[in-house]
C-alpha cells in the first residue's frame, strides 16, 4: 500500500464530512432512506482508494466496507493468530434537526455559555453541559445554531478514516487484518438491516459512536416499541349524545395514566422508561407510539404489563371504544453476550489507557449498531468520539476527544497483535 499524499488531521476530515448533508428519514422504506447519504459514502470510497486500500467497495444499500491487510511478517509471533478487528461508524445524521448547510465553527473555549452566531436564540449553556468545564483552554467545534453539527457520527467516521490513513501508510504500526465499515440509517434504526457479516469478515468489532472522552459502552437498553390504538365512533357532534365514542378522549385517559416517574425526563443511569413520542387521531381512530426501554428484558415485560393494566382501567370509562396494545421487539442489551468474550472489552480498556485516557464504562441510554451486531454474533462494544448534545443545534465536539479516539483505535489494533502473540496456535476466534 502507498501512503496518503497528505496526512490530514482528524479535525480536517471531520470539518469536511460535517458539511455534507446525510440526514436519514424515518418513514422511507428503502436503505439508504435518503440518497444524500451516498454523497459521503462515495467520498469515503474515493478516499480509501486514494490511500491505497484496494479492497474497498460501496454496495447498493449504501454500506462502505474495506479491508486493510495485516502487515505482520511471517516470522512474527502473532502471525496467523490475530483476531480480525472491525471498526464501524455510521454515515447518517438524525432526522430531528437539519443537516443541510452545516457551518462548523472551531474555537478555543474560554468558559461560560456559548451563544451561536447563526441563531442567537440557541445557547449552549455551561450549567447544562458539565463536560464544558474540562474544555476551558481547549478547542471545540459547534455549528452556527441553524443546524446540528453532525458529530454523531461524523466524528466516528473521521476518527476511523484518520486511523485508516495511518494503518495504510509506510510507517504503520504492526497490525492484523482490519475491516472498516460505514453504515447508513443508524439514526432510524436500520443501520444493520443489510449489514453483510460474511463480507465484513471480522472476528470482533468496535463502533466509534460515543461521546465524552474516556466513555466506553458495553451495555445498552433493551428496547421494545409499543402502539396503543383506540377505535371509536364518529358522528356529527350536534347528534352525538349517546352515539359518539371519542377515541381521542379515551387515548387521553391512557396517556395521563402513564407513570411520570417512568418518563425519560425523570430517569437516569440504569433506570428504564416508557416514552410516548408520537400521537395521531380524530374521533373515530387515535393512536400513540411509545418507546419501552429497560436494561433487562424482565423490565420490558413489566412495562408491558403496566400498559395492559392501564387499558383495563380505561376500558370501562369508554364502553363503546376498542383499545388495542401491540408490542414489537426492537433491540436487546449487548451486555450478556459481551460478558462471554471479556477479551473484546479488555482490549478496548487497555487501548484507552495507553492513549492516556482513563476508561469509564457507562451504560448507553439508547442503542447502537453494536447492539444488533452483537446479537447477530459479532461482539461490538462502543468507543467515544468526543461529541456532546447529539441530534440538535446545541451539539458540540471536543477536538481532544476526537484525537484521543484515533489514538485509542491505533493502540487497539496493537493490543490485538499482543493477544495474538500469546496464543499457542490458530486464529483467535477458532
Q: Of 237, 166, 187, 255, which Cα lies nearest the Cα of 32? A: 187
Per-position DSSP letters for 316-381, written without gaps between them: GGSTT-EEEEEEEEEE--SHHHHHT-HHHHHHHHHHHHHTT---EE--BSS--HHHHHHHTT----
Name the active-site residue from 21, 153, 186, 224. Answer: 186
296 is catalytic: no
Kindly tell me the sign of the dihedral angle through the C-alpha atoms of 237, 243, 247, 249.
positive
Question: Which residues does 190 contact at the CB level (< 8 Å), separation at least 6?
Answer: 31, 33, 184
Q: Give Rg (Cα) of the chain.
A: 24
State the DSSP H helix or E strand holding residue 157, giving kind and residue range, or none if neither.
Answer: helix 151-167
Name the active-site residue from 21, 92, 215, 414. Answer: 92
Q: Count CB neighbours of 196 within 10 A.
A: 12
261: DSSP letter = G
The pairing of beta strand 215-217 with beta strand 360-361: parallel
Whole-angstrom CA distances from 302 to 39, 292, 294, 308 are 44, 10, 10, 10
- Look at the block and give the residue holding cell 453541559: 129
d(CA 167, CA 1): 10
8 is catalytic: no
3-state SS, residue 395? coil
- Look at the block and give the residue holding cell 432510524: 188
Q: Of 133, 141, 127, 130, which Cα lies nearest the Cα of 111? A: 133
Torsion angle of alpha carbons 323, 329, 333, 336, nearest 10°?
Answer: 120
**Residue 177, CB half-sphere, CA atoms under 13 Å: how many?**
18
Q: Of 93, 63, 106, which Cα lies nearest the Cα of 199? A: 63
Chain-centroid distance, C-alpha 128: 22
In the numeric block, which cell numbers belong to residue 316? 370501562
Which positions are annotated as active-site residues?
92, 186
Amino acid at each position: 500500500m502507498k501512503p496518503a499524499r497528505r496526512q490530514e488531521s482528524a479535525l480536517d476530515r471531520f470539518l469536511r464530512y460535517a458539511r455534507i448533508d446525510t440526514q436519514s428519514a424515518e418513514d422511507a422504506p428503502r436503505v439508504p432512506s435518503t440518497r444524500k447519504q451516498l454523497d459521503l459514502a462515495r467520498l469515503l470510497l474515493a478516499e480509501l482508494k486514494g490511500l491505497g486500500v484496494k479492497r474497498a467497495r460501496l454496495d447498493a444499500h449504501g454500506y462502505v466496507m474495506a479491508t486493510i491487510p495485516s502487515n505482520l511478517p511471517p516470522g512474527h509471533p502473532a502471525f496467523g493468530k490475530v483476531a480480525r478487528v472491525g471498526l464501524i461508524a455510521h454515515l447518517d445524521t438524525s432526522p430531528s434537526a437539519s443537516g443541510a448547510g452545516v457551518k462548523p465553527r472551531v474555537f478555543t473555549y474560554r468558559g461560560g455559555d456559548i451563544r451561536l452566531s447563526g441563531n442567537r436564540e440557541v445557547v449552549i449553556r455551561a450549567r447544562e453541559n458539565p463536560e464544558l468545564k474540562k474544555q476551558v483552554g481547549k478547542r471545540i467545534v459547534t455549528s452556527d445554531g441553524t443546524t446540528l453539527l453532525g458529530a454523531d457520527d461524523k466524528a466516528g467516521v473521521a476518527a476511523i478514516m484518520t486511523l485508516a490513513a495511518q494503518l495504510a501508510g509506510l510507517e504503520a504500526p504492526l497490525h492484523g487484518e482490519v475491516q472498516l465499515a460505514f453504515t447508513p440509517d443508524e439514526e432510524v434504526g436500520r443501520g444493520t438491516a443489510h449489514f453483510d457479516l460474511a463480507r465484513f469478515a471480522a472476528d470482533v468489532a468496535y463502533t466509534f459512536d460515543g461521546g465524552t472522552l474516556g466513555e466506553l459502552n458495553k451495555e445498552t437498553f433493551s428496547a421494545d416499541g409499543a402502539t396503543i390504538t383506540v377505535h371509536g365512533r364518529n358522528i356529527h357532534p350536534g347528534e352525538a349524545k349517546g352515539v359518539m365514542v371519542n377515541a381521542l378522549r379515551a387515548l387521553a385517559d391512557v396517556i395521563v395514566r402513564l407513570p411520570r416517574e417512568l418518563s425519560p425526563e425523570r430517569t437516569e443511569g440504569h433506570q428504564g422508561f416508557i416514552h410516548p413520542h408520537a400521537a395521531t387521531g380524530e374521533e373515530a381512530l387515535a393512536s400513540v407510539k411509545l418507546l419501552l426501554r429497560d436494561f433487562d428484558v424482565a423490565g420490558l415485560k413489566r412495562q408491558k404489563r403496566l400498559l395492559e393494566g392501564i387499558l383495563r382501567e380505561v376500558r370501562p370509562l369508554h364502553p363503546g371504544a376498542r383499545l388495542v396494545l401491540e408490542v414489537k421487539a426492537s433491540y436487546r442489551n449487548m451486555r450478556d453476550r459481551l460478558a462471554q468474550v471479556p477479551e473484546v472489552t479488555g482490549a478496548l480498556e487497555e487501548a484507552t489507557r495507553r492513549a492516556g485516557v482513563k476508561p469509564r464504562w457507562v451504560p448507553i441510554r439508547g442503542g447502537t449498531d453494536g447492539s444488533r451486531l452483537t446479537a447477530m454474533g459479532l461482539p461490538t462494544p462502543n468507543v467515544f468520539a468526543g461529541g456532546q448534545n447529539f441530534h440538535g443545534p446545541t451539539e458540540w465536539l471536543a477536538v481532544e476527544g476526537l484525537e484521543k479516539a484515533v489514538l485509542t483505535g491505533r493502540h487497539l489494533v496493537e493490543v490485538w497483535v499482543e493477544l495474538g502473540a500469546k496464543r499457542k496456535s490458530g486464529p483467535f476466534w477458532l
